[in-house]
A and B are shown apart, each in its own frame.
Chain A
Amino acid sequence: MSIFRSIKKLGPDMKFEPIREGFGKGLVSAGKVNSQVVAACADLTDSTKMGLFKAEFPDRFFEIGVAEQNLVTVGSGLAAMGKIPFVSSYAAFSPGRNWEQIRTTICLNDRPVKIVGSHAGVSVGPDGATHQMLEDIALMRVLPNMVVIVPCDSLQAEKATLAMANDKRPNYLRLAREATAVITNEQTPFEIGKSYVYREGRDLTIFACGSLVYESLVAAEVLESEGISVEVVNVATIKPLDQKTILSSVSKTRLVITAEEAQINGGLGGAISELLSEHLPTRMHRIGMQDRFGESGEASELIKHFHLDSGSIVASAKELLAQ
């Protein structure tokens, strides 16, 4: 049986790196390839890792200050003049605070601004609920013309950033603060709009995004040792959704779990539910934030507390199989 096709083997020697780190590196690479790439930040340059670009291309970086509405509308103006603007802040503030500006001046106005929301999810940790953005996927997913990308690790974030610089549409890139296992390698493919089967299985499909792809792969290993064959799909692009890959996996396993560090309503769980209810009604569990806010704590504690860890995914799978 083919396992871990094109990604790394899980193990104690895995490297952990924040997903946002990959964005920082990718942006510098994109800036070197294309002089039209510019960047703007709302007073969080180092923590969103945009500082790497600023150091390399100081003239092409704009400090906007604590003004997220201005951040994205300035981005719209930069794009109007042919620039490829990446605009970053914490996801709680952008797209948390400036949704209407994104809707009107970027999506309806069709300007290819690249909105980068860092520190998404409960794994922001001690900062607490105000800073743990959980609704960004839902907010961005409902906007016509918008592309929503949630990379599973640092390396994928780097590839996604390069791909975004070449994409003509408005894009949203979701990043996280905590160090996350690097599960992909240089050869692992990434293309906007594609979902990837990272592990094949027969009994159940887990559709995951972001850091929960790793948790899902760990859960799949545990389940396999108990004789349950699990397919794990990385839905790295939530919009547009890779319907073909998703439907083909579900038509084989006919049982689904979704896993995300976001509200299940409107997020990845919402997106998969919508697709399946129309094309292939399937029993499913949605793992994620169950219509509630987070709270302060260490990232690893919170992931367990809110039942987003591999153990919770294992339990959920067993429950679903027993029904």
Chain B
Amino acid sequence: MSLYIENLKLKADSIRQDIIKMLEHAGSGHSAGPLGLTDIFTALYFNVLKHDPKNPDWDERDILLLSNGHCVPVRYATMAHAGYFDTKELMTLRQLGSRLQGHPERLRLPGLENTSGPLGCGLSQAAGMSLAMRLDKIKDRYIYVVMGDGETDEGNIWEAAMLASKYKLSNIIAILDRNNIQIDGPTEEVMPLENVVAKWQSFGWKVLETDGNNIEEVINALNFAKSIENSPVILIAHTIPGKGVDFMENDYHWHGTPPNAQQAKIALKELRTLRGKIRSESE
């Protein structure tokens, strides 16, 4: 494995530590989704996206829409690490007057592309953006949409899926966080989503699959997605909710819960030592 990818993995580890600290400090918020999505966000902000942290409104940038707004802690933490703002500001999450609202508000923080929280809207907004770009003959900008799997219970998603397919909006690359949990339990118990691949294929989408916690695979899959023409693409990213923290992994109870001080301490030690592989200097 290349040094480059090793460094991205360390970056993801630091971002996960900040997510734990932010959530513990805020005292509310979602843990599992952001930790599961950290490798994808690291891949996006440190490799895939065309963007400029010093010029968030750059008119040639790629667009990243976070459709499942509750996972925004991972976006804030990754943006801070990418240089959009100081990591110290992460500790203001969910506080009065903070730019880091509990669910993302575009007008509060430069670099956010949409206001989200109520689920199911990101893909439609991407479709509108893509149609506008086509009218303006813009060809070299991509629109990435991160969605949760439970989110695809929403009818709005499928309305958008049909439209993007109808107009062959091939600069849309959706990333489905297939972590198999939602608030009330496992997705296949709450509202069965399978066969996910066949569903999206039947809607006219090109479907790719990847291990969403393998940064190298995610980068390769997204770069391949860019080359696909004539149809929108969805990358089914199989992730482990709560990834990196043993007691959170694959437990749906952590969907909407933050760690308390004691739990945060354990989680941080685990992340800092890369699960005991190295010694932590701050013990």
Whether A101 contacts B156 by the Cβ 8 Å rule is yes
Whether A73 contacts B129 by the Cβ 8 Å rule is no
Contacts of A70 in B (CB 8 A): 124, 127, 156, 159-160, 163
Whether A110 contacts B124 by the Cβ 8 Å rule is no
A59 to B105, CA, bound (A): 32
A75 to B126, CA, bound (A): 10
Q: Which of A66-111 contact B (CB under 8 A)?
A: 67, 69-70, 73-83, 85, 100-101, 104-105, 108-110
Cβ of A143 to closest chain B Cβ, rounded Å = 13
Q: Which of A39-80 contact B (CB under 8 A)?
A: 59-60, 62, 64-65, 67, 69-70, 73-80
A77 in complex: contacting residue of B107, B125, B136, B159, CB < 8 Å: B125
A62 and B156 contact, Cβ closer than 8 Å, known pairs A69-B124, A104-B116 = no
A74 and B131 contact, Cβ closer than 8 Å, known pairs A69-B155, A105-B121 = yes
Contacts of B135 in A (CB 8 A): 38, 59-60, 83
Contacts of B121 in A (CB 8 A): 73, 76, 101, 104-105
A100 and B118 contact, Cβ closer than 8 Å, known pairs A81-B129, A110-B107 = yes
Closest to B128 in A: A77
A109 to B101, CA, bound (A): 13
A110 to B127, CA, bound (A): 18
Whether A69 contacts B126 by the Cβ 8 Å rule is no
Whether B163 contacts A74 by the Cβ 8 Å rule is yes
Closest to A109 in B: B115
Whether A105 contacts B129 by the Cβ 8 Å rule is no
Contacts of B136 in A (CB 8 A): 81
Whether B132 contacts A105 by the Cβ 8 Å rule is no
A-B pairs with lowest CB-CB distance, top 9? A77-B128, A73-B124, A81-B132, A70-B159, A67-B159, A77-B125, A74-B128, A109-B115, A78-B128
| New A-B pairs, 4, CB < 8 Å, besides A67-B162, A77-B127, A109-B115 | A65-B163, A76-B128, A104-B118, A108-B105
A-B contact pairs, 10 of them (CB 8 A): A64-B159, A73-B128, A74-B125, A74-B128, A77-B126, A80-B128, A80-B129, A80-B132, A81-B136, A100-B118
